[in-house]
C-alpha cells in the first residue's frame, strides 16, 4: 500500500540538460591525466578494447536503468528501484553504496583540480605544509581545491537549472578540446607510432589479462549515466526519451574515450609516452596535443578542457549524491534533515552542503587520495549496479504489469548479462591478487563507509521505528492518466476561479475548457451517486457564543431545580469555570452538587458511580463541564440515573432504555463534538472494550458552546482535540452512510479546522479562530451522529482502550495509513479533501493529512504511543468485535488481515 505524493522538486531539466549532465560526468577529467597510464597498462589497442569491453558491461547495466528510470521516475533512482524489488534493507545497501561512489568522485575531483592547475602553472605550488604518502601538500594547492569546492556547492544549492547551465557550457568546452585532439591526430599522427605499443604482454594470455585490467578500471570512468535516475523528478522530458538519453550518454562516452586513446597513440610513440609519464605531471594527453599542433599553447588549451572536466564531474555527482541522500532521508534511513529542500531553490541543500564539506576536506589527504578513492568508489558502484540489475529481473517477475514506457527486449538475457558482468567486477575487486584487487588502505575506506552505514541503519531504525524504510512514490502524469486528469481538472478549477487570464497562464485556454468540463462531469457523477432517500434528525438545542456560559442558570432553569455538575478532577476548578457555572445556577435558584471523578478515556465504572450519586441525592438534571470524556460520562450518568442494571448491558444491546435525566453540556475542548450527538464512548476496564452507548435520550437538552471556555487548553490538548474534530468531519464525509446534509456540514467545517487549528496550536489564534474551531467541532459531532465514523476511529478505540492514550493522538497515528488504504473506495471525495489541504488528487490525501499533522505537532506513530507488534492481534480482534458497523461504514472492502496490516503500517 505505497503512498503517492506530488513532487516537491521543480521540473527544470531538458533533453539537452540530462545528456550533458550524464556525458559531462562520464568524460570528466580522466582522459587528460590518465590516458598514458591506460596505454601503459594495456597498449593502445588493448586500452581501446578495455574501454570497449567496459563500455559493453556498462551498456547492459545501462539497459536495466533505461527500463527502470522511466517506470519509476522518482528522486533517488537506485533507492526506489531496489526498494520496490528488495524492500528497505536491500534499498539501504544499494543506495548507501552508490552514495560512496558519488562522494568518491566529488573528492576525486577536489584532488584532481589543483593537479591540473600545476601543469598549467609550474610555479603554482607555494607554501609547503606537509607530506602524505610521499605527496607534498602546498597551501596554494589546498586553497584552489577548497575555493572551487565552495563554488560548486553554492551553484548546486542555487538550483538544478543553474547547475545545468554551467554543465552545458563546460561540457561544450571539453568536447571541443577533445575533438581538436582527434582532428589533430588525424593530420599529424603516424601509424608507425603504434608499433610496439598496440598491446602490453609477452603472449596472448598476458595481453588479454592487461586488457582486462583496463576494463576493470572503466566503471569508475563511466559513472555518470546513473545521475539521470537520481534527478528523475526534475526532468521535464517524455519518459521514454529519458531512457534513450541515458543509453546515448553511455555510447558517446565510450566513443570519446576510445578515440582519445587512439589519438594519443597515433601522435606519441611508446618512448614519448614513457617520457611524458616520468616528467612529473603525467599529463600525456596534453603533451600529445602539443605535438599534434606543434605548439605548447595547444597543450594549455587541452588542459583548460581538463579543468572543465573536473568541474562537470564534480557538478554532476554533487547532483546525484545529494539526491540519493535526499531519497534515503525521505525514507528515514538517514536523519530527515538531509531531506530538507531549500524554500526558494527547491534543492536538498543540507545534503549538498554535507557533500560540499567532504569535498573541502578531501584535498587535505593529498594526491594519493586519487588512487584510494577511485578503487573504493569503483567497488561501491559495482555493488549498486549489481543490485539494480537484480532488481530489474525481480520486478519483471514481481510487478509484470508495472507501466514501463521503455521496455527492454529479451529481459532475461539483458538481466543475466548485467548481473554477471557487474557481479564479476565486484568479485574481481575482492579477490586478492586479481588485477583489480583493493589494497588495505582502499579496504579501509570501504570498511569505514560500511560501518557508518550500519550505524545509520541501526540508529535510524531504532529512532524512527516503522517510519524507517517507508517509501512515498511520486505520482507522475504520464504513468497515471487518471491522476493527470484529476490534477488538470483541479488546476483548471482553481485557475478559473482566479479569472480567465490566470487560467490561460496556468494551463492554457483549450486545456482549461476540456479540464473544466471533465471536472464538472466528475462532480455530476458524484452527485448522481448520492442516496436517493435518507433521514436527518437532530434534536439538540445549541446555544453558541462568547460569554454564553455566564448565562447558564437562565438557560437551564426550565429543565430542573437540582443539578449534578460533572467535571474532570481539577481543570474546571483551576480555570474558574466551575465556579462561574455554579454561581450562575445559584443566582437562578438552582441547587447544585459536584461529581469530579472523570478521567480521560472514561470508564463504565465511573458512570455507574456517578449514576448512583445522582439517584441517591435526587438530582433532576446533569450538567457537564469539560471535554469529550466528561461529556460522555455525563451522558452515561444521566442515562443510568433513569435505568436499572449495568451500563454495559445497554452498550451491547442486551437491554434498552429510552429515558435519561435532562442533560446540559458545556464543552471546554473543541474536538469531541459530544455536545451535538446522542452517543457516549465508554471503556470497560475489565475487558478493555471501548464502545459507544447510543440512545436519542442522551442528546443534550441544551449545549452551551462558548468559545471562551476553550481558551485555557494547553497546546497539546488543542492539537489532539482539534484533530479529533477533523477526523469526525472527514470520516463522516467519506462514510458509506454519508448524505447531502452531512456532506454540506462537513465541507463547511473542514476548511475552518485547516485554517484555524494550526494558528491556535502556535498560539497565534484570535477569538475568530476559537469561534471557527468551536463551530467546526460541534459540526463534527453532528455529522458523525448521522453519517457515523469509519475505520480510523474504529481502529483507534482499541488503542486508547488498551493503552489509555489520548484519543486525538491515536487518530493522528492511524489516519494517514487508513486513508492511504481506503481512498480508492471514493476517489472523488478523497480527492476533494486532498485539494482542501493543498494537494491535487485522492492519492495525495494521506500525505497531506500527514503534513497537517506536522503543523500541529502530531506527527506520531503507534510505536510512539507505546503500541508494539505483540499488541496487533488483540487490537485487530477488538476492532472487529467493538466496531463492526464502523468498519462496514468505510469505503472499500476491509478484511481482518487488512486491519492488522494497517496497524503494522502505523507502528
618-673 per-position pLDDT tens digit: 999 999 999 999 999 999 999 999 999 999 999 999 999 999 999 999 999 998 89
Q: Is the pLDDT of residue 503 over 60?
A: no
Q: What is the dihedral of CA 800, 802, 804, 806, to 10 degrees?
A: -20
Is residue 481 predicted with pLDDT exceeding 70? no
Checking if the pLDDT of 216 tops 80, the result is: no
| The pLDDT value given to residue 504 | 43
The least confident of 30-34, 164-168, 485-489, 795-799 is 485-489
Q: What is the pLDDT of residue 488?
A: 62
**CA dihedral (840, 841, 843, 845) positive or negative:** positive
Give the mean model confidence (pLDDT) for residues 325-346: 92
What is the model's pLDDT at position 808?
A: 94
CATH architecture of 3-464: Up-down Bundle (1.20)
Lowest mean pLDDT: which of 244-253, 537-546, 700-709? Answer: 537-546
DSSP, res 282: -
Query: What stretch of H or E contains 632?
Result: helix 628-640
Does residue 682 contact residue 651 with C-beta atoms inside 8 Å? yes
Query: For 542-569, what is the mean pLDDT?
Result: 94
Could you give the C-alpha distances from 109 to 151, 277, 322, 360, 429, in angstroms and in order? Answer: 13, 20, 16, 11, 22
Residue 387: what pLDDT? 96
Look at residue 492 in the predicted model and tell me its pLDDT.
58
Q: How confident is the model at residue 841 (pLDDT cuts 50, 70, 90)?
A: confident
Distances (CA, A) of 131 to 108, 134, 612: 18, 6, 89
Identify the band that residue 5 occupies on the pLDDT scale cut at 50, 70 and 90: low
The Cα–Cα gap between 430 and 507 comes to 55
pLDDT of residue 136: 85
What are the DSSP E strand ranges found in 684-813? 690-694, 702-705
For position 32, what pLDDT does the model report?
A: 84
CATH domain 542-906 topology: Rossmann fold (3.40.50)
Count CB atoms within 10 A of the CB of residue 504.
Answer: 14
CA–CA separation, 693 and 647 (whole Å) = 8
Query: pLDDT class for 520, splitting at 50, 70, 90?
Result: very low
- For the whole prediction, is pTM greater than 0.85? no
R_g (Cα) of the chain, nearest Å: 35
Q: How far apart are CA 323 and CA 364, in angstroms?
A: 26
User: Residue 81: pLDDT above 90?
Assistant: yes
* Measured distance CA(712)–CA(718) in Å, rounded: 9
Mean pLDDT of 298-315: 88
Least confident of 126-140, 330-344, 463-477: 463-477
Does residue 560 carry a pLDDT above 90?
yes
With bands split at pLDDT 50, 70 and 90, how would you rate the model's confidence at 727? very high
Distance CA 688, CA 803 (A): 9
Picking from 413, 333, 421, 455, the residue whose alpha carbon sits closest to that of residue 89 is 333
Residue with cell 470508564: 603
Q: pLDDT tens digits, residue range 240-286?
A: 999 999 999 999 999 999 999 999 999 999 999 998 888 755 679 98
CA-based nearest residue to 635, from 616, 608, 660: 660
| Average pLDDT value for the chain | 88
* 564 within 8 A of 610, measured Cβ to Cβ: yes
Residue 514 has pLDDT above 50, yes or no: no
Mean pLDDT of 432-444: 81
pLDDT of amino acid 762? 92
CB-based contacts of 498: which residues, under 8 Å, 6+ apart?
Answer: none
The pLDDT of residue 659: 94
With a cut of 60, say whether residue 393 has pLDDT above it. Answer: yes
What's the mean pLDDT in 122-138?
86
Q: Which three-class secondary structure state does DSSP give residue 290?
A: helix
Is 650:693 a contact under the CB 8 Å cutoff? yes
Other beta carbons within 10 Å of 467: 18
Q: Is residue 289 within 8 Å of residue 157, measured between CB atoms?
A: no
Query: φ, ψ for residue 557 (rounded to 5)?
Result: -55, -35
Cβ(783)–Cβ(723) below 8 Å = no
| pLDDT, tens digit (0-9, with 9 covering 90-100), for 734-775 | 999 999 999 999 999 999 999 999 999 999 989 999 999 999
- Could you give the 3-state DSSP secondary structure of residue 620? coil
Question: Percent of the chain having pLDDT more than 70?
Answer: 92
99-103, 153-157, 477-481, 808-812: the lowest-pLDDT one: 477-481
Question: What is the structure's pLDDT at 795?
Answer: 96
State the sign of the Cα–Cα–Cα–Cα dihedral 691, 694, 697, 703: positive
* pLDDT band of 163, cuts 50, 70, 90: confident
Check pLDDT > 50 for residue 372: yes
In this predicted structure, what is the pLDDT of residue 113? 79
Task: For residue 823, give the DSSP letter.
Answer: G
What is the average per-residue pLDDT within 178-183? 94
Q: Strand pairing of 702-705 and 679-683? A: unpaired
| Pairwise CA distance, residues 513 & 841, whole Å | 19
Amino acid at each position: 500500500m505505497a503512498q503517492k505524493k506530488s513532487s516537491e522538486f521543480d521540473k527544470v531539466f531538458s533533453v539537452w540538460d540530462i545528456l550533458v549532465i550524464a556525458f559531462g560526468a562520464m568524460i570528466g577529467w580522466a582522459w587528460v591525466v590518465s590516458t598514458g597510464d591506460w596505454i601503459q597498462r594495456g597498449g593502445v589497442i588493448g586500452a581501446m578494447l578495455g574501454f570497449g569491453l567496459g563500455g559493453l558491461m556498462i551498456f547492459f547495466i545501462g539497459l536495466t536503468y533505461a527500463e527502470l528510470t522511466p517506470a519509476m521516475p522518482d528522486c533517488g533512482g537506485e533507492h526506489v528501484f531496489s526498494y520496490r524489488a528488495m524492500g528497505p534493507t536491500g534499498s539501504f545497501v544499494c543506495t548507501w553504496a552508490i552514495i560512496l561512489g558519488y562522494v568518491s568522485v566529488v573528492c576525486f575531483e577536489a584532488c584532481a583540480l589543483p593537479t591540473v592547475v600545476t601543469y598549467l602553472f609550474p610555479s603554482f605550488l607555494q607554501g609547503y605544509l606537509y607530506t602524505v604518502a610521499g605527496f607534498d601538500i602546498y597551501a596554494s594547492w589546498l586553497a584552489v581545491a577548497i575555493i572551487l569546492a565552495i563554488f560548486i556547492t553554492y551553484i548546486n544549492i542555487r538550483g538544478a537549472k543553474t547547475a545545468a547551465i554551467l554543465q552545458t557550457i563546460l561540457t561544450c568546452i571539453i568536447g571541443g578540446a577533445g575533438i581538436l585532439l582527434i582532428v589533430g591526430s588525424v593530420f599529424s599522427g603516424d601509424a608507425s607510432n603504434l608499433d610496439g605499443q598496440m598491446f602490453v604482454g609477452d603472449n596472448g594470455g598476458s595481453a588479454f589479462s592487461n586488457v582486462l585490467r583496463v576494463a576493470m578500471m572503466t566503471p569508475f570512468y563511466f559513472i555518470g549515466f546513473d545521475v539521470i535516475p537520481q534527478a528523475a523528478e526534475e526532468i521535464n522530458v517524455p519518459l521514454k526519451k529519458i531512457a534513450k538519453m541515458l543509453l546515448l550518454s553511455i555510447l558517446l562516452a565510450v566513443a570519446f574515450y576510445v578515440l582519445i586513446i587512439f589519438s594519443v597513440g597515433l601522435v606519441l610513440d611508446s618512448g614519448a609516452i614513457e617520457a611524458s609519464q616520468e616528467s612529473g605531471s603525467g599529463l600525456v594527453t596534453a603533451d600529445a596535443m602539443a605535438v599534434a599542433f606543434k605548439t605548447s599553447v595547444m597543450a594549455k588549451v587541452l588542459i583548460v578542457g581538463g579543468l572543465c572536466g573536473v568541474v562537470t564531474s564534480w557538478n554532476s555527482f554533487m547532483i546525484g549524491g545529494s539526491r540519493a541522500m535526499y531519497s534515503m532521508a525521505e525514507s528515514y534511513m538517514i536523519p530527515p534533515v538531509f531531506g530538507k529542500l531549500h524554500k526558494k531553490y527547491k534543492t536538498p541543500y543540507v545534503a549538498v552542503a554535507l557533500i560540499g564539506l567532504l569535498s573541502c576536506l578531501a584535498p587535505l589527504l593529498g594526491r594519493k587520495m586519487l588512487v584510494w578513492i577511485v578503487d573504493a568508489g569503483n567497488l561501491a558502484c559495482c555493488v549498486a549496479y549489481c543490485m539494480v540489475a537484480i532488481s530489474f529481473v525481480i520486478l519483471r517477475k514481481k510487478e509484470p504489469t508495472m507501466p514501463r514506457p521503455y521496455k527492454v527486449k529479451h529481459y532475461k538475457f539483458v538481466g543475466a548479462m548485467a548481473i554477471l558482468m557487474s557481479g564479476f567486477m565486484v568479485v574481481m575487486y575482492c579477490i586478492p591478487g586479481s588485477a583489480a584487487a583493493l589494497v588495505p588502505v582502499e579496504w579501509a575506506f570501504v570498511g569505514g563507509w560500511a560501518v557508518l552505514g550500519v550505524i545509520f541503519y541501526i540508529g535510524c531504525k531504532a529512532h524512527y521505528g516503522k517510519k524507517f524504510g517507508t517509501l512515498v512514490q511520486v505520482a507522475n502524469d504520464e504513468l497515471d492518466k487518471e491522476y493527470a486528469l484529476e490534477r488538470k481538472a483541479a488546476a483548471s478549477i482553481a485557475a478559473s476561479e482566479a479569472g480567465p487570464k490566470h487560467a490561460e497562464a496556468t494551463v492554457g485556454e483549450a486545456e482549461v475548457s476540456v479540464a473544466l468540463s471533465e471536472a464538472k462531469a466528475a462532480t455530476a457523477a458524484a452527485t448522481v451517486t448520492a442516496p436517493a432517500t435518507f433521514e436527518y434528525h437532530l434534536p439538540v438545542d445549541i446555544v453558541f457564543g462568547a460569554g454564553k456560559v455566564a448565562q447558564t442558570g437562565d438557560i437551564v432553569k426550565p429543565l430542573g431545580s437540582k443539578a449534578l455538575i460533572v467535571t474532570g478532577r481539577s481543570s474546571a476548578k483551576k480555570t474558574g469555570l466551575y465556579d462561574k457555572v455554579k454561581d450562575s445556577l445559584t443566582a437562578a435558584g438552582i441547587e447544585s452538587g459536584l461529581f469530579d471523578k472523570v478521567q480521560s478515556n472514561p470508564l463504565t465504572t465511573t458512570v455507574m458511580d456517578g449514576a448512583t450519586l445522582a439517584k441517591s441525592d435526587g438530582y433532576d438534571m446533569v450538567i457537564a463541564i469539560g471535554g469529550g470524556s466528561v461529556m460522555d460520562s455525563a451522558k452515561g450518568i444521566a442515562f443510568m440515573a433513569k435505568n436499572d442494571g449495568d451500563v454495559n448491558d445497554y452498550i451491547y444491546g442486551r437491554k434498552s432504555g429510552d429515558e435519561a435525566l435532562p442533560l446540559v453540556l458545556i464543552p471546554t475542548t473543541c474536538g469531541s463534538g459530544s455536545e451535538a450527538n446522542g452517543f457516549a464512548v465508554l471503556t470497560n476496564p475489565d475487558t478493555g472494550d471501548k464502545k459507544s452507548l447510543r440512545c436519542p435520550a442522551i442528546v443534550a437538552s441544551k449545549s452551551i458552546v462558548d468559545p471562551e471556555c476553550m481558551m485555557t487548553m494547553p497546546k497539546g490538548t488543542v492539537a489532539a482535540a482539534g484533530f479529533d474534530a477533523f477526523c469526525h468531519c472527514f470520516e463522516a464525509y467519506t462514510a458509506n452512510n454519508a448524505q447531502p446534509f452531512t456532506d454540506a456540514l462537513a465541507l463547511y467545517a473542514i476548511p475552518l479546522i485547516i485554517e484555524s487549528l494550526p494558528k491556535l496550536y502556535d498560539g497565534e489564534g484570535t477569538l475568530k479562530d476559537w469561534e471557527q474551531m468551536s463551530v467546526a467541532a460541534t459540526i463534527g459531532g453532528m455529522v458523525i451522529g448521522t453519517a457515523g465514523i469509519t475505520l480510523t476511529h474504529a481502529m483507534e478505540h482499541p488503542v486508547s482502550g488498551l493503552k489509555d492514550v489520548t484519543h486525538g493522538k491515536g487518530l493522528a497515528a492511524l489516519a494517514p495509513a487508513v486513508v492511504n488504504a481506503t481512498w480508492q473506495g471514493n476517489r472523488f471525495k478523497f480527492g476533494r479533501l486532498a485539494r482542501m489541504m493543498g494537494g491535487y488528487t485522492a492519492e495525495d490525501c494521506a500525505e497531506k493529512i500527514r503534513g497537517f499533522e506536522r503543523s500541529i505537532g502530531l506527527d506520531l506513530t503507534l510505536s510512539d504511543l507505546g503500541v508494539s507488534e505483540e499488541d496487533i492481534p488483540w487490537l485487530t480482534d477488538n476492532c472487529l468485535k467493538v466496531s463492526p458497523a464502523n468498519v462496514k461504514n468505510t469505503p472499500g472492502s476491509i478484511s481482518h488481515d487488512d486491519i492488522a496490516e494497517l496497524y503494522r503500517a502505523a507502528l
